[in-house]
Structure 1
Amino acid sequence: MKKIHVSTRVNGDEADFVCAPDETLLDALRDRLGLTGAKEGCGTGDCGACSVTLNGRLVCSCLVLAAEAEGAEIGTVEGIADGDKLHVLQQSFLDHAALQCGICTPGILVASKALLEKHPEPTDEEVRYWLAGNLCRCTGYDKIIRAVQDAAQKLRSA
């Protein structure tokens, strides 16, 4: 099978990889680039565990072909923190115990960050709507909503 060379930017850094034409972006991130934060939960775009941003748009990386990342800007959970300093959103998730097993957490963090970049003052209903594509079986969603709202308030105050 013919391989495809892809040049892209991931979390602000240049990245190149070679992939099969049918390889997903999720597999390329994990297997080619070593970015294992995005998880494969379902492989069908139903759980959101593999959420990343592609040119600023929130996507399930299990539904995107790796070749579609050519020339694109990809944002993953690994790019949220600033070096060793946690992002306000990450700290808020810790402070509010908004995570447990960790399978859904990377996707929810990416989706929450995308939400706050577009809507810095979301209502609880908007947070719930925005995160509707992310399934969590451990925490329920109240702690997650509180964590996102807390982070939103802190970001507005900063």
Structure 2
Amino acid sequence: MDIFILPLINKYYTTLYYACAMLYYTSIILCHTRTILCYTSTTLYYIILVLYYTILCQYYTILYYTIRIQYYTILYEYYTIQYYTNIILFYTILVVYYTILVLYYTILCQYYTILYYTNTIIYNTILILYYPILVLYYIILY
């Protein structure tokens, strides 16, 4: 009689083990998906923040130097206008350059973060698909 009951008990615990493993890897995938969403929203927040302060800084810089240009235009000659125009152009180019640089590194960081978690999700998905096939195999085998 024990010969017939033992395979049934073994089959039950094997199926239970693989079902628990499936739940475990599903929770890992959900955790990594949440992490990706968190990093994406944080990155978008910082991009918007950088753009906001860049535009604000650029506006006040241009406004400041425009007022100074008008002041020196009244007081001085042509070379004064040329000098401060070059300063405005220089600072505008500098602000645009640093904005592009910040965006580039933000996108690069986001790309590598998403690539890492995508690979983790693919790996765990393969594991999740492996265990149901293994469970079916043991069910059919016994």
Does TM, scored on the shorter chain, surpass 0.5?
no
Larger-gyration structure (1/2): 2
State the structure with bigger RCO (CA 8 A, min sep 6), 1 or 2: 2
Task: Give the TM-score taking structure 2 as reference length.
Answer: 0.20
Which structure has greater strand proportion?
1
Which structure has greater helix proportion?
2
Task: Give the TM-score taking structure 1 as reference length.
Answer: 0.18
